[in-house]
Amino acid sequence: MKWHLHLYLSPTAPRDRMCLFALPALFTPLDKILATLGEGTFGKVVKVKDLHADHVMALKIIKNVEKYREAAKLEINALEKIAEKDPECRHLCVKMLDWFDYHGHMCIAFEMLGLSVFDFLKDNNYQPYPLETVRHVAYQLCYSVKFLHDNKLTHTDLKPENILFVDSDFEITYNSKKKRDIRRVKRTDVRLIDFGSATFDHEHHSTIVSTRHYRAPEVILELGWSQPCDVWSIGCIIFELYLGITLFQTHDNREHLAMMERILGPIPYRMARKTKTKYFYHGKLDWDEKSSAGRYVRENCKPLHRYQNSDDEDHRQLFDLIARMLEYEPSSRLTLGEALRHPFFDKIPPHQRLGDFRGAGNEGRERSHSLSR
């Protein structure tokens, strides 16, 4: 189905200000803006109701600024290629309904989804998700991003804000230990969003990608990156869903690397020697452990396995999966095909299994053709 949305911008409004009225070509009321779903540097996302079809969708309206317009065009290109290969959205990427350019504002209409896994966590006072929710969300995320990787695409901006529940309705239970109500999402199906930074193998690779907390070491060290940088991000995301806290809470490259060493052990000598960045001296991280930043890292970070909440086998398997996703060397890092065969996902019930991973873990028998063709 094609959606034809036409925004009306007030003639008195500056070109980069978006006035939220929606009219069809003949200027009879058809589309009504119900709410603002989110705002960012790029523009905003609004909830729109098509009064004719009685259908609600999310409309992403991009500021009339060249770099954001170009990013929107790249996102549209990626989404169109994804839709060609997966018209039924079986690989859990958000469905684009239509797009158009209105006086320099790129506008993209999407299916309406629920809250992001981050917003749900925040609204729930950062109470971690139950293990079975972590398992199902992680499984879907690996499956969806594997589809991108099989088709020569790297998402490059995986984070909890870019994973949305299809429906974020919840039930409330009282937690006597915490002495507070806890929200539990009723349905754990998710969709992957925000392909504005997605990069095909043959395209120019920016030096720095990913949101800071989910950025892989090879990106920080400017050693070049490809699909394994997404796997690192997924490891960080799974940890956050399980504990309700960010694994690497920092805004500085050197401190970020120090946190990695505290949690995961020393950065490999090969990577330290190869980087042109100035964070190492004779192959060792140049970091003063006695400084205030050094004390902060020591007091707030600990070896990965010590974050495990239980010695149960399920929790042990989860941390084994995370550790394999957080291998420093990209070539040694788990692939997502291997991740989907990890024992942690053996307990995914049959009705939640997807595609070639419905049976007992065999890697995708049919690889998709490249999206970039």
pLDDT at 128 exceeding the cut of 60: yes
- In this prediction, residue 294 has a pLDDT band, given cuts at 50, 70 and 90, of very high
Name the catalytic one among 157, 167, 288, 320: 157
Which amino acid, 368? S
pLDDT at 28 exceeding the cut of 60: no
pLDDT at 363 exceeding the cut of 70: no
pLDDT at 361 exceeding the cut of 90: no
pLDDT score at 30: 53
> Average of pLDDT values for 239-254?
97
> Average of pLDDT values for 101-105?
92
Least confident of 50-59, 102-111, 141-150, 292-301: 50-59
pLDDT at 368 exceeding the cut of 50: no
pLDDT score at 360: 46
User: Which phi and psi angles does 348 have, rounded to 5°?
Assistant: -65, 125
pLDDT score at 29: 47
pLDDT at 272 exceeding the cut of 80: yes
Assess contact for 180 and 202: CB atoms under 8 A.
Answer: no
> Average of pLDDT values for 277-298?
95
pLDDT score at 367: 37
Distance CA 232, CA 328 (A): 9
pLDDT score at 179: 83
pLDDT score at 6: 47
Which amino acid, 23? L
Distance CA 163, CA 366 (A): 26
Which of 68-77, 98-107, 222-231 is modeled with the greatest confidence? Answer: 222-231
User: Of 216 and 370, which is predicted with more confidence?
Assistant: 216
* DSSP code per residue over 213-230: GG--HHHHTTS---THHH
Q: What is the pLDDT of residues 304-352, one digit of tens each?
A: 999 999 999 999 999 999 999 999 999 999 999 999 999 999 999 999 9
Give catalytic status of residue 314 as yes or no. Answer: no
Q: What is the pLDDT of residues 131-167, one digit of tens each?
A: 999 999 999 999 999 999 999 999 999 999 999 999 9
Between helix 131-150 and helix 228-243 the angle, nearest 10°, is 170
Q: What is the pLDDT of residues 67-100, one digit of tens each?
A: 999 999 999 999 999 999 999 999 999 999 999 9
pLDDT at 365 exceeding the cut of 90: no
Assess contact for 251 and 293: CB atoms under 8 A.
Answer: no
CA gyration radius, the chain: 22
> Average of pLDDT values for 192-197?
94
Question: Would you say 276 is a known binding-site residue?
Answer: no
- In this prediction, residue 223 has a pLDDT band, given cuts at 50, 70 and 90, of very high
> Average of pLDDT values for 17-26?
38
- The whole-chain average pLDDT of the chain stands at 88
- pTM value is 0.88
pLDDT score at 313: 97
User: Which phi and psi angles does 256 have, rounded to 5°?
Assistant: -60, -45
The owner of tokens 């490809």 is 226
pLDDT score at 51: 73
Q: What percent of the chain stands above pLDDT 70?
A: 87
pLDDT at 364 exceeding the cut of 70: no
239-243 long-range Cβ contacts below 8 angstroms, 24+ apart: 239/307, 239/322, 240/121, 240/160, 241/117, 241/121, 241/128, 241/129, 241/133, 241/134, 241/137, 241/138, 241/160, 242/128, 242/129, 242/131, 242/134, 242/309, 242/318, 243/128, 243/307, 243/309
pLDDT score at 358: 58
